[in-house]
Structure 1
Amino acid sequence: MQPLKAQIQTELVPLISIIEQLETRYNVSFSFLNTTLLNIESSVPPENVTLKEALTILKEQTGLIFKVIDRKSIVIQKPVTVLMPQIEQLHTVIIQHYLTKGINLNADGTIKITPKDFDILPGLIEPDVMQTIKALPGITSTDETIANLNIRGGTNDQNLILWDGIKMYQSGHFFGMISAFDPYAIASVSVTKNGTSARFGDGVSGTVQMELSDAVNNKNTGGAGFNLLHGNGYLKFPLSEKMGLQISARRSITDVFNTVTYNQYFDRVFQDTDVTNNSANYNRTITKNEEFYFYDVSTKLIYDVTKKDKIQGSFLTIDNRLNYLEEATISDFPEALESGLSQKNVSGKLKYNRVWNSIFTTSISGYVSSYMLRAKNFDVINNQQILQENEVLDTGIKIEINNIISPTIQWINGYQFAEVGMSNLEDVNRPDFKRYIKEVIRSHAGFSEFEYAKRNTNIRGGLRVTHYRKFEEAFIEPRISASQKFAKNFRIELLGELKHQASTQIIDRQNDFLGIEKRRWVLANDSTVPIVYSRQVSLGLHYKKNTWLLSAEGYVKDVEGISSRSQGFQNQFQFTNTTGGYTINGLDFLAHKKWGNFKSWMSYSVNRNEYRFESLNNGFKFPNNVAIQHAVNFTTNYTYNKLALAIGFNWHSGLPTTAIANEENGTINYTTPNGDLLDNYFRADISATYKLTISPKLNSIIGLSLWNVLNHNNILNRYYTNDNDKIQVFEESSLGFTPNLSVRVSF
Structure 2
Amino acid sequence: MNKKLLSFIFYFIAIAFCNLAYSQQQKAVQPLTEILQALEKKHHVIFSFETKIIEGISIKPLSKDLSIQQVLAQLNRTTDFNFKMLSDRFIAITPKETDKSQSEIQQLEEVVITNYLTKGISKTNNGTIKADTKAFDILPGLIEPDVLQIVQNLPGIMSVDERISNINVRGGTNDQNLILYEGIRMYQSGHFFGLISAFNPHLSENITVSKNGTSAKYGNAVSSTIAIKNGDKLDNNISAGIGGNMLSVDAFAKIPLSKKTELQLSARRSYTDILVSETYDAYFERIFKDSELNAASQMNTLLAQDERFLFYDFNIKFLYDIDRTSKLRINVMNISNNLNFDQIFTTVDNNFQETKSDLDQMSYGASVTYIKQLHNDTKLSAQIYSSIYDLDAQNNNITQNQLFTQENKVEDFGLRLDVSNTISKDLKFNGGYQFNEVGVTNFEHVTNPNYTSLVKEIIRTHALFGEIEWYSSSRDTYIRLGSRVSYFGKLSEFLIEPRVTLNYKFLDYFRLEAIGELKSQSITQIIDLQQDFFGIEKRRWQLANGKDVPLIKSEQTSLGLSYNQNNLLISVEGYYKGVHHITARSQGFQNQFQFINDIGHYTVKGVDFLIHKRFSDFSTWLSYTYSKNDYNFNEINNSNSFPNSIDLRHAANASLTYNRNNFKIGIGLNWHSGRPFTAPLDMQDNTITTIAYNAPNSSRLSDYFRTDMSAIYKFQASKGIQAEIGASIWNIFNQTNIINRYYTLNTEGDITQIDNRSLKLTPNLSFRLNF
Q: State the TM-score, normalized to the length of structure 2.
A: 0.91
Tell me if 1:370 matches 2:393: no
Tell me if 1:123 matches 2:141: yes
Q: How does 1:106-145 map to 2 (within 5 A)?
A: 106-145=124-163
Taking the aligned partners of 2:640 and 2:223, their CA distance within structure 1 comes to: 24
Match of 1:506 in 2: 526
Alpha carbons 2:126, 2:503 under 8 Å: kept: yes
Alpha carbons 2:115, 2:122 under 8 Å: kept: yes
Match of 1:472 in 2: 492
Aligned residue among 501, 510, 517 for 1:481: 501
SS in 2 for 1:572: coil
Deviations 1:222-267 (A, max 9, x none): 2111111111111112100011111011111211201111100110
Taking the aligned partners of 2:569 and 2:394, their CA distance within structure 1 comes to: 52
Mark the CA change 1:287 to 1:620 in structure 2 (over 3 Å): closer, same or farther. Answer: farther
Aligned residue among 535, 542, 545 for 1:525: 545
Match of 2:366 in 1: 348
Match of 1:688 in 2: 711
Q: Which moved more, 1:727-736 or 1:25-34?
A: 25-34
Match of 1:700 in 2: 723
Match of 1:718 in 2: 741
Deviations 1:302-333 (A, max 9, x none): 11112112111011100000002133569998
SS in 2 for 1:573: coil
Alpha carbons 2:560, 2:572 under 8 Å: kept: yes
Deviations 1:563-590 (A, max 9, x none): 1011111111111111101000000000
Alpha carbons 2:161, 2:739 under 8 Å: kept: yes
Match of 1:317 in 2: 334
Alpha carbons 1:42, 1:61 under 8 Å: kept: no
Tell me if 1:199 matches 2:214: no
Q: How does 1:270-419 map to 2 (within 5 A)?
A: 270-281=288-299, 283=300, 288-328=305-345, 336-419=354-437
- The letter of the residue matching 1:19 is T
Alpha carbons 1:8, 1:43 under 8 Å: kept: no
Taking the aligned partners of 1:502 and 1:286, their CA distance within structure 2 comes to: 47
Deviations 1:646-671 (A, max 9, x none): 11111111011111113222341100
Match of 1:4 in 2: none
Aligned residue among 585, 589, 598 for 1:569: 589
Match of 2:9 in 1: none
Taking the aligned partners of 1:429 and 1:20, their CA distance within structure 2 comes to: 69
Tell me if 1:738 matches 2:762: yes
Identify unmatched segments of 5+ residues in structure 1: 1-6
Alpha carbons 1:230, 1:252 under 8 Å: kept: yes
Match of 1:3 in 2: none
SS in 2 for 1:264: helix
- The letter of the residue matching 2:286 is R
Mark the CA change 1:648 to 1:329 in structure 2 (over 3 Å): closer, same or farther. Answer: closer
- Residue 274 of structure 1: how far off its partner (Å): 2.8
Q: Which moved more, 1:328-337 or 1:715-724?
A: 328-337
Taking the aligned partners of 1:134 and 1:270, their CA distance within structure 2 comes to: 23
- The letter of the residue matching 2:653 is N
Q: CA RMSD in A?
A: 2.3
Alpha carbons 2:48, 2:90 under 8 Å: kept: no
Match of 1:229 in 2: 247
Deviations 1:350-398 (A, max 9, x none): 1111111111111111100000000011222211111000000000110
Deviations 1:661-693 (A, max 9, x none): 132223411001000110000011111111112
Alpha carbons 2:283, 2:759 under 8 Å: kept: yes
Mark the CA change 1:700 to 1:24 in structure 2 (over 3 Å): closer, same or farther. Answer: farther
Match of 2:635 in 1: 615
Mark the CA change 1:405 to 1:134 in structure 2 (over 3 Å): closer, same or farther. Answer: same
Tell me if 1:46 matches 2:60: yes
SS in 2 for 1:631: strand
Mark the CA change 1:21 to 1:232 in structure 2 (over 3 Å): closer, same or farther. Answer: farther
Tell me if 1:256 matches 2:274: yes
SS in 2 for 1:117: coil
- The letter of the residue matching 1:208 is I
Aligned residue among 429, 449, 469 for 1:451: 469
Taking the aligned partners of 1:26 and 1:106, their CA distance within structure 2 comes to: 17
Taking the aligned partners of 1:230 and 1:42, their CA distance within structure 2 comes to: 29
Identify unmatched segments of 5+ residues in structure 2: 1-25
Aligned residue among 172, 177, 180 for 1:162: 180
- Residue 413 of structure 1: how far off its partner (Å): 1.2
Taking the aligned partners of 1:681 and 1:348, their CA distance within structure 2 comes to: 40
Mark the CA change 1:258 to 1:58 in structure 2 (over 3 Å): closer, same or farther. Answer: farther
Mark the CA change 1:33 to 1:182 in structure 2 (over 3 Å): closer, same or farther. Answer: farther
Mark the CA change 1:633 to 1:284 in structure 2 (over 3 Å): closer, same or farther. Answer: closer
Alpha carbons 2:569, 2:611 under 8 Å: kept: yes
- Residue 287 of structure 1: how far off its partner (Å): 5.8
Q: Which moved more, 1:483-492 or 1:68-77?
A: 68-77
Taking the aligned partners of 2:375 and 2:84, their CA distance within structure 1 comes to: 26
Taking the aligned partners of 1:234 and 1:446, their CA distance within structure 2 comes to: 38
Alpha carbons 1:506, 1:565 under 8 Å: kept: yes
Tell me if 1:728 matches 2:745: no
Alpha carbons 2:367, 2:383 under 8 Å: kept: yes
Taking the aligned partners of 1:424 and 1:58, their CA distance within structure 2 comes to: 61
Match of 2:511 in 1: 491
- Residue 43 of structure 1: how far off its partner (Å): 3.6
Mark the CA change 1:86 to 1:612 in structure 2 (over 3 Å): closer, same or farther. Answer: farther
Mark the CA change 1:427 to 1:86 in structure 2 (over 3 Å): closer, same or farther. Answer: farther
Taking the aligned partners of 2:412 and 2:530, their CA distance within structure 1 comes to: 27
Deviations 1:51-76 (A, max 9, x none): 86986675356532224689987542
Q: Percent identity?
A: 44
SS in 2 for 1:122: coil
Match of 2:684 in 1: 663
Taking the aligned partners of 1:55 and 1:251, their CA distance within structure 2 comes to: 48
Alpha carbons 1:40, 1:62 under 8 Å: kept: no
Tell me if 1:675 matches 2:726: no
Taking the aligned partners of 1:87 and 1:342, their CA distance within structure 2 comes to: 44
- The letter of the residue matching 1:721 is T
Alpha carbons 2:52, 2:134 under 8 Å: kept: no
- Residue 8 of structure 1: how far off its partner (Å): 9.4
- Residue 40 of structure 1: how far off its partner (Å): 5.3
The alignment covers a number of residue pairs equal to: 734
SS in 2 for 1:659: coil
- The letter of the residue matching 1:629 is R
Taking the aligned partners of 2:65 and 2:367, their CA distance within structure 1 comes to: 45
Mark the CA change 1:398 to 1:73 in structure 2 (over 3 Å): closer, same or farther. Answer: closer
Taking the aligned partners of 2:177 and 2:41, their CA distance within structure 1 comes to: 39
